[in-house]
Amino acid sequence: MSRTAARDLDRLGGDVTPLVGRATELELLDAVLDRTLGENGGSCVVDLAGPAGIGKSRLMAEFCRRAQSRGMTVLRGRAAEYEQHIPYQPFSDALADHDMEWTEPGAEDARGDRFGLQRSIARLFVRIARTGPGLLVAMDDLHWADPASLELLDHVVRHPPNAPVVIVVARRNRQTTASLDAALTRGIDLGTVLRLHLGPLAEQACVEVLAPRSAPAVQRSRAAELYAASDGNPLYFLALLHAGQAGRNAGQDVPPHSTGLGSVLLDELTPLTAAQRRTAEAVAVLGDRGSTSLLAAVTARDEADVSADLAVLTGRDLLRPEPGGRWTLRHPVLRAVVHEDTHPVERVRMHRLAADALAAAGAPATERAHHVEQSLTGWDPQAVAVLSEAAERFVSTAPASSAHWLGVALTHLPEQPQHALLRRDLMLRRARALGVCGGLRESRDLLHEVIAMSPPDEGSASHSVRASAVTLCAVMERHLGRYAEAVALLRRELARTPGPSDADRVELGLELGSSAPHATSYPQLRADVVATLDLARSLGDEVAQAGALAIAALGETYEGNMGAAREATDRAAALVDALTDRDLAGLCEPLARLGWSQAFLERYSDAERHADRGLVIARRGGQLYVLPHLLLCKSYVHLQTLRLETAMELADEAETIARGIGSDELLAFVLTNKAYVQLFAFPPADRAALAVAEEAVAAAGTRTNWWASIAWCVLAQAAIHAGDPQRARAAVLRGGGEDLKALHPSMRPLILEILVNSAILTGDTDAAVTWARRARREADQLDLPSQQASALRSTAHCLSADGDTAAAAELFEKAVDRTARSGAVLWEAFSLLLGAPLAAVGDPDRARAMWTRARQLAATGGARQLTGLADMIHSLVHAEPPAQPQPPAEPSLAALSAREREIASLVAAGLTTPAIAARLFLSPRTVESHLGRIYRKTGLTSRAALAALQTRSELRDTTTGATRPT
């Protein structure tokens, strides 16, 4: 059993006692355990919210006890108010003594990739859960959690573990950060989070149960007065009972030491001697890391004397012993009160002594940084060195903590010339850390200062700090969607006098090639890319040459210049393949651009090979900006080659990283690609892809670059699937303009097919023919099989609408041939399904063969959109001879899944959709989706009919053991 699992279950004071009140909450929590450990169990996050002292920790303790009684593994951790910058504290606390490693056996060191670490910990929870009936992870005081922990929790909410795992968090709702509240609220919408908001305890529970148990001498009338003073807050009520005095302002989410509660708790310290109080203050300073030896060092006393104090404090129930010989105060509120009441000078001295003691014991800088920070009152080179070392250690896995510690170091660095270089180095490092944890604007502003501190003629080094700062600043501007500013900054630096070194000019030129295509057309940048390539060649810099060629390859692909694109792609691939991973370690963006170029050129195996190599290098080097592009490139290849399960996984991982970086521009690109995968991965009636595409368009905002145009086109595709052709047409024209010139030329025929379909569906066949002719012309110029197939389908759609079934069927078969030769299995299956019903008119055997192959490809690739389409057209392809009329069969519930049966039973009981959602911990949208599937399977059309069928079924079958819901 872990240290935290063995922790005293009662956080409110006194011995372990039965929980008072909260019967409704306990019923819901028991239902969570029932469902998690049931036959169709899964994971769930429980959110316990309420003000300080309301009983969240006590309810959590009871939940843990009940989970343990069912055999579940229980891990407990908590965040701490004064250690909010220690990365992953609640998770490391929960896993402190667990015998499994944080990472999977044989996995690479995850320290270079915080998102890899998140996935590793999520998989660890699954492994632990599967060693027994299930796992419960309880994390208290999460409103104080560090940013890295909140990112990890958000990952688990959005990607629920496929195992019986329950994560319960307790937090003060008014002190909760916006990011944590957003993550949990998103989980409620997804149906993965159950929120329980704890209000005041009932007067009867406090006066008739808590009071006699905790202070039997107090009369009932007096207990009622104290209850009124406490506003039903159990912690405050117990403290008032203990102190025998009234207080005010209980239960407020303000610092407790400024309230009546603080006064009551401080009164418990009055009988202590000075030495005993100093020991209690030391425990408050150290949190739950206070061993006897460390307490002795912090109080500068013998361990024997400290042990005697600990015995007294434990007897007074101020302290609680922890497994492992550590000590903690009874409750976080008590710790806050004692910590804030400690004289500031004494508090600083204790932190300094703690840092010194940890250093003497050989503790790493990451463990000492917190105490060093709290003890800094002025310039201290050794202390700054510790903060700098800790920041370096966590720059990849916890960049927010890294940025914080570098900021502390900068705050105490004197404004003197001899420290100028150190200041600039710390600022540049802090800007990098801020850039990868969502602080894009703060990073950009800090880099402006670094640039101002770096004169153009600062030295003869081949690579200058100034050029690095300008380049990184342009990256920040790019991720903020401020392309014009990024380009202007780079061009000004390239044009300055004295000019940058040749090496710096190459670095700046490569970033110009990354930023400028978003603000202008590639032809306006072509000369700059050629100049960068020539300069890199003169320097013998093969990595930079590969980078420039990759920019050229992608740029020419954007423009539809396929001859130039193929030439640049071939040259870039030859260079990249000859370089080692170490050569590319500092600049692996060429692999992302090369992979995308090859994907657009329909060289799928080469694209995946280079994306895989880029992912290895980027993860190892912590290059987070590049990871989403590499992940999406591979996801796009898996979509085209019909491997949709992995395509979704890759898109989900890219989304996690994009949200962590905080760039709306990058998020729009990621969500666009995710929605595109969802279009084919989810069944025809599912509207999730439409919702994600709408979010992508919202993230793109009013931008007009090609990323934004693609977002609009994916929204159009989703609208077609949702049966809204007018919206589809409007979205394409919004993204591409009336002349469609803003659309990606190498994908334009496929987008034109959307317009063809929307025109046919709205009865505008003339417009459909016009769009189809344009698609054919552009596809011929591109000479890309999938785009040619799309143009063939567009013409076939028009012929079919005009009644020329045979000609349309022939074109669909030609489209199948084109896509099969390119390896685009997605479009091969799609073309087969569109052509099969038409082929059935003249060649039924051929039609059935087409249908069979298409459905097999779709099923194998996980394309539920296509399997659904195949099932819908089955009767058109496999025509059966007319059957003799049969009396209509009564609808049946036999085809329903266990969850669908459960929902049907609740409908029969008269529950509304919101009530069913609350009962089953699902979102209302999920319940409606289940109802839609129930109606399709049963042939029913209303809730009343479903309720009647469910009732008849229950009355007929009395042997199943099923019972009506209560």
> What is residue 963's predicted lDDT score, i.e. its pLDDT?
35
Poorest-confidence range of 8-12, 86-90, 426-430, 597-601? 8-12
Contact in structure between 934 and 953 (CB atoms under 8 Å): no
> What is residue 904's predicted lDDT score, i.e. its pLDDT?
83
> What is residue 662's predicted lDDT score, i.e. its pLDDT?
78
Contact in structure between 117 and 106 (CB atoms under 8 Å): no
> Please, what is the average pLDDT of the chain?
84
Residue 238 has pLDDT above 50, yes or no: yes
Q: Locate 838 and state its tokens.
A: 């038409």
For the stretch 249-276, pLDDT in tens is 333 343 443 345 667 677 778 888 999 9
Q: Locate 37 and state its tokens.
A: 């450990």
Q: Locate 93 and state its tokens.
A: 């606390």
Phi–psi pair at 165, nearest 5 degrees? -120, 130
> What CA–CA distance (Å, rounded) separates 401 from 398?
6
**Side chain identity, residue 798:** C
> What is residue 463's predicted lDDT score, i.e. its pLDDT?
65
More confident residue, 32 or 2: 32
More confident residue, 961 or 205: 205
Q: Provide the pLDDT confidence category of residue 622 given band limits of 50, 70 and 90.
A: low
Q: Locate 340 and state its tokens.
A: 């804030």
> What is residue 18's predicted lDDT score, i.e. its pLDDT?
67
Long-range pairs for 873-878: beta carbons < 8 A, 24 or more residues apart: 873/833, 873/836, 873/837, 876/836, 876/837, 876/840, 877/836, 877/837, 877/840, 877/844, 877/847, 877/848, 877/850, 877/851, 878/848, 878/851
Mean per-residue pLDDT for 65-69?
92
Mean per-residue pLDDT for 833-849?
93
Residue 591 has pLDDT above 70, yes or no: yes
Cα–Cα distances in Å, from 776 out to 62, 678, 794? Answer: 68, 28, 8
Q: Locate 673 and state its tokens.
A: 């690609």
Q: What percent of the chain has pLDDT over 70?
A: 88
Query: Which residues does residue 139 pair with via DSSP β-bridges, in sequence order?
Result: 77, 169
Query: Residue 935 burial (CB < 10 Å; 0-12/13-18/19+)?
Result: middle
For the stretch 877-907, pLDDT in tens is 987 544 445 555 566 777 777 677 788 888 8
Mean per-residue pLDDT for 323-327?
81
> What is residue 336's predicted lDDT score, i.e. its pLDDT?
84
> What CA–CA distance (Å, rounded) separates 902 from 888?
26
Residue 410 has pLDDT above 90, yes or no: yes
Cβ contacts of 880 within 8 Å, gap of 6 or more: none
Contact in structure between 518 and 478 (CB atoms under 8 Å): yes
More confident residue, 190 or 122: 122
DSSP-assigned letter for residue 71? T
Q: What share of the chain is helix, strand, coil (3-state, %, to 5)?
A: 70, 5, 30
- Angle CA(47)–CA(52)–CA(57) in degrees, nearest 5? 55
Residue 696 has pLDDT above 90, yes or no: yes
Query: Which residues does residue 171 pair with via DSSP β-bridges, in sequence order?
Result: 49
More confident residue, 961 or 26: 26
Query: Residue 347 burial (CB < 10 Å; 0-12/13-18/19+)?
Result: buried
Q: Provide the pLDDT confidence category of residue 244 given band limits of 50, 70 and 90.
A: low
Residue 453 has pLDDT above 80, yes or no: yes
> What CA–CA distance (Å, rounded) separates 835 from 289?
69
Task: State whether residue 901 is helix, strand or coil.
Answer: helix
> What is residue 929's predicted lDDT score, i.e. its pLDDT?
67
Residue showing tokens 């370089």? 579
Q: Provide the pLDDT confidence category of residue 85 given band limits of 50, 70 and 90.
A: confident
Q: Provide the pLDDT confidence category of residue 458 given band limits of 50, 70 and 90.
A: low
Q: Locate 452 and state its tokens.
A: 């101002």
Long-range pairs for 366-373: beta carbons < 8 A, 24 or more residues apart: 366/390, 366/393, 366/394, 369/85, 369/405, 370/83, 370/85, 370/86, 373/85, 373/405, 373/408
More confident residue, 112 or 788: 788
Helix axes 303-315, 292-299, angle to 10 degrees: 110
Reported as half-sphere exposure (CB side, CA atoms, 13 A), residue 512 has a value of: 26
For the stretch 756-776, pLDDT in tens is 999 999 999 999 999 999 999
Q: What percent of the chain has pLDDT over 90?
A: 46
Cα–Cα distances in Å, from 389 out to 144, 196, 492? Answer: 24, 41, 35
Q: Which of 324-328, 406-410, 474-478 has the highest mean pLDDT?
A: 406-410
Cβ contacts of 358 within 8 Å, gap of 6 or more: 294, 367, 368, 371
Poorest-confidence range of 555-569, 645-659, 715-729, 948-962? 948-962
> What is residue 630's predicted lDDT score, i.e. its pLDDT?
94
> What CA–CA distance (Å, rounded) separates 460 from 686?
61
> What is residue 189's predicted lDDT score, i.e. its pLDDT?
72
Residue 646 neighbours by CB distance under 10 Å: 15
> What is residue 366's predicted lDDT score, i.e. its pLDDT?
87
> What CA–CA distance (Å, rounded) separates 593 from 579?
16
> What is residue 246's predicted lDDT score, i.e. its pLDDT?
36
> What CA–CA distance (Å, rounded) separates 163 from 133?
10
> What is residue 65's predicted lDDT score, i.e. its pLDDT?
92
> What is residue 331's predicted lDDT score, i.e. its pLDDT?
79
Residue showing tokens 């050029």? 467
More confident residue, 694 or 959: 694
Q: Provide the pLDDT confidence category of residue 957 given band limits of 50, 70 and 90.
A: low
Residue 620 has pLDDT above 70, yes or no: yes
Q: Provide the pLDDT confidence category of residue 703 given band limits of 50, 70 and 90.
A: confident
Rg (CA), the chain: 32
> What is residue 663's predicted lDDT score, i.e. its pLDDT?
81
Task: State whether residue 196 is helix, strand or coil.
Answer: strand
More confident residue, 905 or 403: 403
Mean per-residue pLDDT for 97-120?
57
* Cα dihedral 697/698/701/703 (nearest 10): -10
